[in-house]
C-alpha cells in the first residue's frame, strides 16, 4: 500500500515549474526604431533557463526524500545467505553449505520455529540473484509456506530430548492407572508422583470426596463428577466431558479407568493432541519454488530512520538557502 506513494513523484514538477525563468521583457535591448520592424516572436525566448538551480535541486531532493519516506522502500542488500537453526550440528551445516556452494555465504542463526517465518518477512531484502538455504531441524509448519523467491530447505532431525510428565494418581485402583501410563511410548516418560507438586501436570482423581482446596494442576481426570460442581454444566465430546475450574481443566468420562488397550491408547492420544499439543515433526528436505502471487509482508520501515535524518538535513538547508537568497 505504501508503494502507492511513488505515484506522487510528479509533485517534483512543481518546483521545476516555479524555477523556470519567465520570459523577461527587460532582457530585450531598447531600439528606438523598432516600430519599423514587423512584430515577430524572438527566437531565443524558447530557451528554458532556471533561476537558483541550487535551490531547485534542494527542493526536488526534499520532495523526493519525503515521498521515499512515505513509501518506505526496502533496499535489497542481502546476498547469498544460509539460515541456520539454533542447535544444528555445525559439521553437518558446513558440509551441507559447501555442497550447495554457499560455504562462504552469510550465516544467520535463528530459533528453529522462527526460521521460515523470518525468511518470509525479510524476503525483499535479498537481491534478485541471491540464493537462500535454510539448514537445521526446521519444524513442519501447519500450512505449506509460499515464498516470492526460491528457498531451499535441508533438514536433519535432531535427537529428540527426553520429556518427563509428572502425574499424581489419587485412586483406590491406582494399579490400573499405572498400567495404562506404562503403555505410553515415544520420547515422553510418565513419572507417577506420590504427592502432587509444582511439576505435576496431571492429577487422576478417582475418589468420591472433593480434593483439598489448595490442590492445583493444569489437568484433572475425574471419575466421580459429584466432587466437582463445575462438571454439572460441562460440555461433552464423544462421551468426554470437559470444563474449566479454579483448580485447572477437568476431564470426565463415565468409563474410566479404560478397560482395554484401545481405550487406553485413545485416552493417551487425546491427552497428547488436545492438551499437550502435537509432537515436534521435522520438515522433509525440499526446495520451495518462487510463487508469483506470494507477496512479502509490508516493509517495517528499515530505511525510515536514515530517510528522516536526510529529510531534516535537506529541510534545514533549503530554509537557510531561501533565507539567504531573500536578503
Binding site for other proteins (CB under 8 A): 25, 27-45
C-beta of 53: minimal distance to other proteins in Å?
23
Minimum Å gap between C-beta 37 and other proteins is 5
- CA 199, CA 138: separation in Å to the nearest integer? 29
Nearer to other proteins, 40 or 195 (CB): 40
For residue 173, which phi and psi values (nearest 5 degrees)? -105, 45
Q: Dihedrals φ, ψ of 171, to 5°? A: -155, 155
With contact defined as beta carbons under 8 Å apart, do 76 and 123 qualify?
no
Distance in Å, CB of 19 to other proteins, minimum: 22
Burial of 111 (0-12, 13-18, 19+ CB in 10 A): exposed
Judged by beta carbon, residue 41 or residue 238, the one nearer other proteins is: 41
- Of 22 and 326, the one with the shorter C-beta distance to other proteins is 22
Which C-beta is closer to other proteins: that of 35 or that of 327? 35
- How many other C-beta atoms can be found within 10 angstroms of the C-beta atom of residue 306? 12
Minimum distance of other proteins from residue 46's CB (angstroms): 12
All residues at 6 or more sequence positions from 272 whose CB lies less than 8 Å from its CB, including other chains: 278, 279
The radius of gyration of the chain's CA atoms, rounded to the nearest angstrom, is: 36
Q: How far is the CB of 43 from other proteins (least distance, A)?
A: 6
> How far apart are CB 71 and other proteins at their closest, in Å?
45
CA-CA distances (angstroms) from residue 34 to 30, 37, 46, 127, 144?
8, 5, 21, 66, 83
Least distance from other proteins to the Cβ atom of residue 25, Å: 6
For other proteins, the closer of residues 46 and 233 by Cβ is 46
| Residue (35 or 326) nearer to other proteins, CB | 35
**Minimum CB distance to other proteins smaller for 44 or for 262:** 44
Distance between CA 102 and CA 17 in Å, rounded?
52
> Is 135 in a helix, a strand, or coil?
strand
**End-to-end Cα separation, the chain, in angstroms:** 43
Amino acid at each position: 500500500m505504501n508503494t502507492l506513494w511513488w505515484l506522487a513523484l510528479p509533485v517534483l514538477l512543481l518546483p521545476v515549474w516555479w524555477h523556470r525563468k519567465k520570459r523577461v521583457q527587460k532582457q530585450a535591448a531598447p531600439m528606438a526604431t523598432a516600430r519599423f520592424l514587423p512584430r515577430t516572436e524572438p527566437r531565443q525566448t524558447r530557451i528554458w533557463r532556471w533561476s537558483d538551480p541550487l535551490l531547485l535541486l534542494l527542493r526536488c531532493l526534499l520532495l523526493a526524500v519525503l515521498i521515499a519516506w512515505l513509501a518506505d522502500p526496502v533496499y535489497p542488500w542481502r546476498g547469498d545467505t544460509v539460515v541456520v537453526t539454533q542447535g544444528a550440528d555445525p559439521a553437518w551445516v558446513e558440509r551441507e553449505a559447501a555442497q550447495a556452494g554457499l560455504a562462504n555465504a552469510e550465516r544467520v542463526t535463528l530459533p528453529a520455529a522462527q526460521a521460515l517465518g523470518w525468511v518470509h518477512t525479510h524476503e525483499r531484502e535479498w537481491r534478485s540473484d541471491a540464493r537462500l538455504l535454510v539448514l537445521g531441524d526446521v519444524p513442519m509448519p501447519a500450512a505449506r509456506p509460499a515464498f516470492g523467491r526460491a528457498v531451499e530447505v535441508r533438514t536433519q532431525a535432531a535427537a529428540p530430548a527426553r520429556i518427563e510428565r509428572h502425574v499424581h494418581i489419587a485412586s483406590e485402583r491406582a494399579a490400573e492407572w499405572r498400567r495404562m501410563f506404562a503403555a505410553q511410548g515415544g520420547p515422553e516418560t510418565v513419572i507417577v508422583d506420590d504427592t502432587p507438586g509444582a511439576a505435576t501436570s496431571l492429577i487422576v482423581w478417582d475418589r468420591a470426596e472433593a480434593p483439598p482446596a489448595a490442590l492445583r494442576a493444569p489437568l484433572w481426570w475425574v471419575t466421580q463428577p459429584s466432587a466437582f460442581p463445575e462438571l454439572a454444566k460441562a460440555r461433552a465430546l464423544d462421551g468426554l466431558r470437559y470444563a474449566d475450574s479454579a483448580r485447572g481443566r477437568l476431564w470426565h468420562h463415565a468409563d474410566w479407568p479404560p478397560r482395554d488397550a484401545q481405550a487406553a491408547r485413545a485416552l493417551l492420544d487425546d491427552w497428547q493432541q488436545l492438551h499437550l499439543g502435537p509432537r515436534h515433526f521435522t520438515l522433509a528436505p525440499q526446495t520451495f519454488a518462487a510463487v508469483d502471487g506470494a507477496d512479502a509482508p509490508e516493509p517495517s520501515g528499515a530505511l525510515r530512520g536514515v530517510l528522516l535524518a536526510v529529510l531534516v538535513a535537506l529541510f534545514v538547508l533549503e530554509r537557510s538557502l531561501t533565507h539567504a537568497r531573500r536578503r
